[in-house]
Amino acid sequence: MSAASPREYSVRPARSQDADAISVIYNEGIADRATLETESRTPDERRSWLAARDARHPVVVVEADGVVVGWASLNVFNARDAYRHVADISVYVARAARAKGAGSALLHRLVELGREVGFHKLVLAGFPTNAASVALYRHLGFREVGVYREQGLLDGRWVDVLLMERLL
Ligand SMILES: CC(C)(COP(=O)(O)OP(=O)(O)OC[C@H]1O[C@@H](n2cnc3c(N)ncnc32)[C@H](O)[C@@H]1OP(=O)(O)O)[C@@H](O)C(=O)NCCC(=O)NCCS
Q: Is 144 contained in some domain?
A: no
Q: How many residues does the chain have?
A: 168
Q: Is 38 contained in some domain?
A: yes
Q: Is 19 contained in some domain?
A: yes
* Full domain range(s) for residue 17: 6-124
* CB 130 near ligand 1, within 6 Å: yes
Tens place of pLDDT per residue across the chain (168 aa) = 444 444 589 999 999 999 999 999 999 999 999 999 999 999 999 999 999 999 999 999 999 999 999 999 999 999 999 999 999 999 999 999 999 999 999 999 999 999 999 999 999 999 999 999 999 999 999 999 999 999 999 999 999 999 999 999
Q: Is 152 contained in some domain?
A: no
Q: Is 155 contained in some domain?
A: no
Q: Given the CA of residue 70, which atom of ligand 1 is nearest to it?
A: 39
Q: Is 47 contained in some domain?
A: yes
What CATH code is carried by the domain that includes residue 112? 3.40.630.30
Q: Is 37 contained in some domain?
A: yes
How many angstroms separate the alpha carbon of residue 90 from the centre of ligand 1?
Answer: 13
How many angstroms separate the alpha carbon of residue 135 from the centre of ligand 1?
Answer: 6
* Domains of the chain: total: 1
Q: Which residue's CA is the nearest one to ligand 1's atom 44?
A: 34
- Could you give the dihedral angle defined by the CA atoms of residues 7, 117, 66 and 133, in that order, rounded to the nearest 10 degrees? 60
- Could you give the dihedral angle defined by the CA atoms of residues 4, 58, 23 and 69, in that order, rounded to the nearest 10 degrees? -10
Cβ contact 119:156 at 8 Å: no
Give the other-Cβ count within 10 Å of 66's Cβ: 6
Q: Which residue's CA is the nearest one to ligand 1's atom 36?
A: 93
Cβ contact 115:167 at 8 Å: no
Q: Is 76 contained in some domain?
A: yes
* CB 75 near ligand 1, within 6 Å: no
Cβ contact 125:78 at 8 Å: no
pTM over 0.85: yes
Cβ contact 13:58 at 8 Å: yes
